[in-house]
C-alpha cells in the first residue's frame, strides 16, 4: 500500500479563495449586464480587465504569505510509478 501524502491546505488559501470569488463575481456581473442589454464587447472587456487585476492582487497576496507555503508535489513519471508498484508487489 502506498504511503499517504499529507497536504495542509489542499489549495484552500486566502489568495486562492479571493481569486475564485472575485472572478465569479466579475463574470456574473458581466453576464447579467449583457443579458439586460449591455454591449457584449464592453462587458467582456470589463470582466477580463477585472480578472487580470484580481490575478495581480492574488499574486501579491500570495507573496505576502496568504498563499500556498510550499510548492506542489510533482507527480511521478509513468516509469517511476510502475517501478514503485513493482517494488510494493514484491514485498
Give me the mean pLDDT over the 29-35 stretch. 97
Q: Is the confidence at residue 69, as pLDDT, over 90?
A: no
Nearest to 27, CA basis, from 54, 53, 46: 46
Q: Which residues are within 8 A (CB) of 30 and not within 5 positions of it... i.e. 6 or more apart?
A: 43, 44, 46, 47
For residue 74, what pLDDT band results from cuts at 50, 70 and 90?
confident
Give me the mean pLDDT over the 82-89 stretch. 90
CA distance 53 to 60: 11
Chain centroid, CA 13 distance in Å = 10
pTM of the model: 0.67
Cite the DSSP H helix spans in the chain.
14-35, 40-61, 78-90
Give me the mean pLDDT over the 9-19 stretch. 82
Amino acid at each position: 500500500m502506498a504511503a499517504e501524502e499529507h497536504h495542509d491546505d489542499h489549495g484552500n488559501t486566502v489568495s486562492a479563495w479571493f481569486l475564485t470569488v472575485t472572478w465569479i463575481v466579475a463574470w456574473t456581473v458581466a453576464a447579467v449586464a449583457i443579458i439586460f442589454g449591455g454591449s457584449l464587447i464592453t462587458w467582456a472587456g470589463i470582466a477580463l480587465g477585472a480578472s487580470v487585476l484580481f490575478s495581480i492582487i492574488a499574486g501579491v497576496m500570495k507573496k505576502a504569505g496568504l498563499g500556498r507555503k510550499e510548492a506542489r508535489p510533482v507527480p511521478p513519471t509513468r516509469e517511476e510509478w510502475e517501478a514503485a508498484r513493482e517494488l510494493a508487489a514484491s514485498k
